[in-house]
Amino acid sequence: MSLDPADNRMVAYLLGTLTEDEQTRFELEVLAHDDRYEDMLAVEDELTYAYLQNELSADDRARFEARLASTPAGRQRAAFAGALLDVIGAVPAAPGARPASAASSSGRRPAMWPSSAYAWLQVAAAIAVMAGGVWMATSLGAMRRENARLQGEHSAREQQFRQEIDAARVRLDLLARDLASAQKRVVFSFFLTPGRTRSAGELSRIRVPSMVDDVQLRLERKNADHHDGYRTAIRTAEGDEVWSDTLPAPSADGTLTAHVPAAALRTGDYELTLTGLAKDARSDDLATYDFTVIRR
């Protein structure tokens, strides 16, 4: 049997002489490359032809028959092929029969049109044995189909997984928005003017609903001043300090803004003192703001 050197590994695979690791690598190679699968089918045809023509060694012939007879259908085909070969051996060559032409450029054995009953009998035997000789190609074909099916399932699962991830991201975005909305603080703003006193009945009244989180007190200043910073403190009518903090720089209209937690202010009268701070640690009392808080 004459084959291209590149076909030897395919023959070894078809005859079962590769090691388990070599067989696994070869199957993965065939599954991954369509051209290798087509080459293997062609080599299997060559191997079957060589079997019919008694071109295989005794060991290879035994291996071929053993692989062919590995299934009940294969054993039936092998028996039928053997019977046909016995008949062919008893029939003399047809007069004027022409041998096959030289190998084609692809290196594969060329086809030959039958010109006698003997040739037709050869073709019949070839068909019978080749029908059984595709056992390995059929197995690999099934493996290829299973591989394609698994890849399709993997792609479908991957697509479903991505869709689930996208849906989870949407849910997380909605939850984040709900959380941000829940955490959004409610702020009420009030304007205070200095100099109003409880004794004169001129206190500013601040009504603070229960849902308010922060009270923004905008402090008017009677006289422009130039300090490096400002500090304010709020005390009850009894003189207990309930809140104090430094203030940011005045706004464009000269007002200062104090952000007071609503929880620090209960219903009652309060006094807010504004102090100017200098870099040399000096401080100046600038203004006093009296107001009344009414919680609702």
243-270 pLDDT, tens digit per residue, is 999 998 888 888 999 999 999 999 999 9
What span, in angstroms and rounded, lies between the C-alpha atoms of 270 and 208?
14
Question: 80 or 265: which carries more pLDDT confidence?
Answer: 265
Q: Which residue, 224, 227, 225, 208, is CA-closest to 216?
A: 208
Least confident range from 114-123, 151-160, 208-217: namely 114-123
What span, in angstroms and rounded, lies between the C-alpha atoms of 17 and 274?
98
Inter-residue long-range contacts of 227-231, CB under 8 Å, 24+ positions, other chains counted: 227/276, 227/277, 227/278, 227/284, 227/286, 228/277, 228/278, 228/279, 229/276, 229/277, 230/256, 230/274, 230/275, 230/276, 230/277, 230/286, 231/274, 231/275, 231/277, 231/283
pLDDT-derived band at 216 (thresholds 50, 70, 90) equals very high
pLDDT at 47 over 60: yes
pLDDT score for 266: 94
Question: 105 or 58: which carries more pLDDT confidence?
Answer: 58
Residue range(s) of every CATH 2.60.40.2550 domain in the chain: 187-295
Mean pLDDT for all residues in the chain:
75
pLDDT at 294 over 90: yes
pLDDT score for 69: 57
Domain 187-295 of CATH type 2.60.40.2550: yes
pLDDT at 3 over 50: yes
pLDDT at 118 over 60: no
pLDDT, one tens digit per residue, over 163-182 is 888 888 888 877 777 666 65
User: Model's pTM, two decimal places?
Assistant: 0.40
Q: Which residue, 214, 189, 222, is CA-closest to 288?
A: 222
The share of the chain scoring above pLDDT 70, in percent, equals: 67
What span, in angstroms and rounded, lies between the C-alpha atoms of 254 and 96?
122
